[in-house]
Structure 1
Amino acid sequence: MADRKCTSQSKRDLVVTRAGILTTPKDREVAEEDEEDECGLGIEEFLRDKNMLITGTTGFVGKLLIEKILRSQPDVGKLFLLIQGPNQEAVNKRLRHEIINAEIFKRLKEVHGSSYEAFMLSKLVPIVGHLEEDFLGMEEKVHKDIADNVDVIVSCAANTRFDERYDVALNTNTNGALRLVKLARRCRKLQVFLHVSTAYVNGPRTGLIKERAFSFGDSIAREEAMATHSQEIPPILDIGAEAKRINDALEGWAENTATPRMKELGLERAKIHGWPNVYSFTKAMGEMVIGSMSNDLPTVIVRPTIIGSTIQDPFPGWIQGLRMADPLIVYYGKGQLNLFTAEGKTIVDLVPADMVINAILAALVRHGSSGVAGLNIYQIGTSSINPLRFDELFNHCYEHYLSFPLIDSEGKFVHIEKMKLFDTLADISSYFSIGENGRLKKAKDMHILRKLSVTYEPYTSYKGRFDIANAKKLMKRMSRVERSNFTFDVAAIDWRDYIVNVHIPGLRKHIISGDAS
């Protein structure tokens, strides 16, 4: 056989040559696997000339994804970016201000020099759009242009508030996913649809949590009740009935009471079905919708755990906004949180953002190249292979702040103590009621503690470990060069070095104001 380049197209041709015909998707998958170890996934080659629609583009994950695509494959086609705004002029301004001028793109600026802006404008196409609206809020002409020209759709947008109004969260995280899949099914050239979810759609499952899909009607509470042979089996989860429940409630509520009552309803419905908050509940329903429509479309769901700052790419420590674990780290460094409700041995399932991006691109190319329809789930996290405990996290934080303390409002170095961890708030109250261990220095500190304890309770006592078997298989299919350029080898993370020398310095540079460094 003549020499050939290891590209996605050549692998497909080789399958045809060997087998004569592509008889079944399984045959095609097996034939490809023979070659992947030698050739890799062909990530850069696959991205060449591809037109992509990306949502959530002004967010943390979205920006990193755009940056990595443009830097690793400058010959990518058009990146259509769905951006919220009242009109085209507004989204054009957001494109320049929040993406083109963002610090995360400084390596691209170095590469392209004076032609940087022209390069970006030649690749990035801002589109007025809203996940919450029919047809994604697009104009009819734009919607048709997307359907005619897009090869790849990546869904990064989500409402991540734990205490969001139920109607808002469902419309974005569940119905928004439905609207995107409907668009995907209209795209005549589409090779793959990828949705970024969260590993915490699994709710309070315990043990090793497999990378398995949700089906319509699945309910964590129902699953647990059946597993324990409970006499009371909760009802199946009916997404349509949940939407009707919301509409009926809104019709009966006064406008000035709708927001708090809708938040209460969301939390109530989430807990009835076994999820800790409205975010993970509506994201799980979004996965159900996507899975139900993936039979004739190569579909990928990537479930990251707690996303932290970048560990190396495009540079260490970049972060946008306080991520899930970061308020604890910041309050601790400011001297406002020296005790907390968390079991010390509980795992903080943290994963650097650039590893999440690399896993997204690898999975996208893997299934975009194969052309095999169906749903594929990838969890990306560290709890099952390189766990970081809460007590270890705070020990690393203590080491950093002891050497490099923050400065308070009076210009003095903030003194911190080692974090004390308690199982419950009641245990903390008991601790303060004994002898001269006294009380918190400021009343607001207790308020912060209570608020954070309630918010983080589902995660500070989490018993599950997320299986990443599919992600590990994916890494094995990558070439040595790809594993270097697109690594998501979470086993290689040195947690002390990452927390002390990368993550907290990143928070200090990009998030914390009034810093000493």
Structure 2
Amino acid sequence: MESNSILKFLENKTILITGGAGFLAKIFAEKVLRTQPNVKKLYLLLRAADKKSASLRLQNEIIGKDLFKVLKQKMGANFTSFISEKVTVVPGDLSHKDLSIKDPDLMEELLRNIDVIVNLAATTNFDERYDVSLYLNTLGAKHILDFAKKCPNLKVFVQVSTAYVSGEAAGLIKESPYYMGESMNGRPGLDIDVEKKLVDAKLQELQEEGATEETIKLTMKDMGMERYVSHE
């Protein structure tokens, strides 16, 4: 799709962006606001306890960054009112069902109005805790997809994964593509429900033992490596 046709498509559209304070999400939001100021609304899902906390994150971690200098110069004195009109923060958490959105009115507003969902929330830390990576990267993708299915006016759903692709796609080696249900080692695919039960049980065990946060963190990292090896 050519740039002009994309900009035309985004006109008067309502977009939900997850991982709102992340690197890619900030770039995407700024690009849309700067090149298509006639976008109807950007909803930014931010991990926060309430709207006040989310609004602070918006100002401190997104709008207040140098990335938005060009847009500020372009809008001049209208910048603050423009952001207020076009950007709405959504306090929530992708790792929980219904994105952990607690405000029923906001939930209804989102479901009714969203045209586009861009899922940019993920952890790319290679040494991440297993519970964090499972809940966010795996269950998070499921939760946002379940949410999308409830949006009657949804036109586009964009899932952004990591920068790591197959050798064939990168032009390095000749490989056969993988399809749904297939795995690299030929074994049955990972059972997400089983993995979640294992993680939840281990976390409960550690909490009952009175383990420190550091111990829990290290145990979860070790568990991730163990589960990876078991599926090789």
TM-score (norm: length of structure 2): 0.87
**1:42 aligned residue:** 5
Superposed displacement of residue 220, structure 1: 2.0
Q: How big is each residue's C-alpha offset from its partner over 1:45-76, in whole Å with a ceiling of 9 and x where there is no partner? A: 10100000001111110110011111111100
1:162 is aligned, of 126, 129, 142, to 126
Match of 2:149 in 1: 185
Cα pair 1:82 1:128 within 8 Å, conserved: yes
Shift of 1:236: 3.7
Output the CA distance in 2 between the equivalents of 1:202 and 1:151.
31
Instruction: Verify the 8 A CA contact 2:124 2:162 in the aligned structure 1.
Output: no
> Equivalent of 1:261, from 194, 211, 219?
219
Contact 1:44/1:73 (<8 A) preserved: yes
Shift of 1:165: 1.5
1:98/1:249 Cα in 2 relative to 1: closer, same or farther (>3 Å)? closer
Instruction: Give the gaps of 5 or more residues in structure 1.
Output: 1-35, 223-233, 275-517
CA deviation string 1:405-428 (max 9, x = no partner): xxxxxxxxxxxxxxxxxxxxxxxx
Q: How does 1:215-294 map to 2 (within 5 A)?
A: 215-216=180-181, 218-222=182-186, 234-253=187-206, 254=209, 255-256=211-212, 257-274=215-232
User: Is the 1:84–1:130 Cα contact (8 Å) retained in structure 2?
Assistant: yes
**Quick one: distance in 1 between partners of 2:165 and 2:149?**
24
Question: Which residue identity lines up with residue 207 of structure 1 in the other structure?
Answer: I
Deviations 1:128-154 (A, max 9, x none): 111122211112221221110000000
Contact 1:221 1:272 in 2 (8 A): no
Change (3 A) 1:200 1:272: farther
Tell me the CA shift for residue 235 of structure 1: 4.7
Q: How does 1:23-38 map to 2 (within 5 A)?
A: none
Aligned to 1:462: none
Are residues 1:150 and 2:114 paired? yes
Residue 84 of structure 1: which of 36, 42, 47 is its match?
Answer: 47
1:40 CA displacement: 7.1
Identity of aligned residues (%): 38
**Native 8 Å contact 1:219 1:273 kept in 2:** no
Structure 1 residue identity aligned to 2:107: H
- The alignment partner of 1:221 has SS state of coil
Partner-residue secondary structure (3-state), 1:82:
strand
Q: Is the 8 A contact 1:88 1:128 kept in 2?
A: yes
Q: What corresponds to 2:86 in structure 1? A: 123
Q: Distance in 2 between matches of 1:183 and 1:67?
A: 24
1:207 alignment partner in structure 2: 173
**1:339-370: CA deviation from partner (whole Å, max 9, x where unpaired):** xxxxxxxxxxxxxxxxxxxxxxxxxxxxxxxx
User: CA, structure 1 residues 41+173, in 2 after alignment: closer, same or farther (shift >3 Å)?
Assistant: same
Deviation at 1:42, TM superposition (A): 0.8
Q: Could you tell me which residue of structure 2 aligns to residue 70 of structure 1?
A: 33
Distance 1:159 1:96, change over 3 A: same
Contact 1:163–1:267 (Cα < 8 Å) also in 2: no
Contact 1:62 1:156 in 2 (8 A): yes
Written as runs of structure 1 = structure 2, the 5 A alignment for 1:439-450 is: none
Cα distance change of structure 1 residues 194 and 118 upon mapping to structure 2, 3 Å threshold: same
* Separation in structure 2 between the aligned mates of residue 143 and residue 66 of structure 1, nearest angstrom: 21
Aligned equivalents of 2:173, 2:229: Cα separation in 1: 20
Q: In structure 2, do the counterparts of structure 1 residues 136 and 72 end up closer, same or farther at CA, with 3 Å as the change threshold?
A: same
Residue 214 of structure 1 deviates from its aligned partner by: 4.8
What's the counterpart of residue 59 of structure 1? 22
User: Shift of residue 177 of structure 1?
Assistant: 0.8
TM-score, normalising length from structure 1?
0.41
In the alignment, is the contact (CA less than 8 A) between 2:122 and 2:136 conserved in 1?
A: yes
1:95 matched to which residue of 2? 58
CA contact (8 A) 2:129 2:217 kept: yes
Correspondence for 1:386: none
**Aligned equivalent of 1:198:** 162
Q: 3-state DSSP class of the match of 1:42?
A: helix
Equivalent residue for 1:288? Answer: none
Partner Cα separation in structure 2 for residue 76 and residue 209 of structure 1: 41
Separation (CA, whole Å) in 2 of partners of 1:246 and 1:219: 22
Task: Decide whether the 8 Å contact of 1:100 with 1:117 is kept in 2.
Answer: no
1:40–1:71 CA distance, 2 compared to 1 (3 A): closer
Give the aligned length. 224
